[in-house]
Structure 1
Amino acid sequence: MPRTVLFAWELGGGLGHLAPVVPLFAGLRERGYRVVLAARDVSRARPLLGGCGIELLQAPIKTNKAGERVDPLRSFAHILFNCGLADFEESAALAEAWRTLFSSVQPDLVVCDHAPVAPIAAALQRGGRVLSDNVS
């Protein structure tokens, strides 16, 4: 059974967090890994993957924004607040959805890029975790 790597992407409207790692996806597939992408926006991610055998899933994301906003943004905490992650119950529901996704996929490794809730859920699951950032 091949080892499974799950890539998690929760925040960001563009493809800047996904495009740089697509060659890594292909390289892992060539080496026999099962690669799963839990994407914020599957309709935008799919064309970028180009049919390279990556399993594509919808990431658990918050779809409605917070009513209150912090402006100007001075920290990552402000970004999370503006994305609606200040509400404990909603954030806990997202973490539970990630844990369900991890239970279904059974990844050996989780790579998180601009995904603040996924690593919390991954820490509660069996297996490894790698955190990455947008390094282009």
Structure 2
Amino acid sequence: MKFSSSTSAAVLGILITSCHAQVKLLATIPELAAYCSTVGPNTYVAVRYENTSNIVTYDFNECYPYELPTGGLAQVAVFCKTTTCTNKPNPDCSGGAVPPVPVPIPAGTVLPNVVDFVQLLGQGATCQRNGLSS
């Protein structure tokens, strides 16, 4: 199979753009981790969403949507506190748990949203303080 130079250039452009986006995503992890040291005792996660320059945080028992109402998907999250989370099928965290098993997440856990996999887990999460040391 022979590709034209314009097809090859387009494919190369897509690959470079994708790699640049992943490097940029990974560069925000230290920023989010540092931000975690400044948050209050009830804030459990710091999130960077696409199309926004602000870090968004969520407190225990507050809905953490994987996509903002404005359309920006979560790109990377750093958990500031040890927590137990339940994925929800809707972005407002309504509906039953998906799957119906809470997931413990230690403080310092980094969850990058590589290739937008986060929405395969559900549309949001609610997280509670747990008894594990943070």
One fold, TM greater than 0.5? no
TM-score tier (shorter): under 0.3
Higher relative CO (Cα under 8 Å, sequence separation at least 6) belongs to 1
Structure with greater helix share of residues: 1
Structure with greater strand share of residues: 2
Larger of the two Rg values belongs to structure: 2
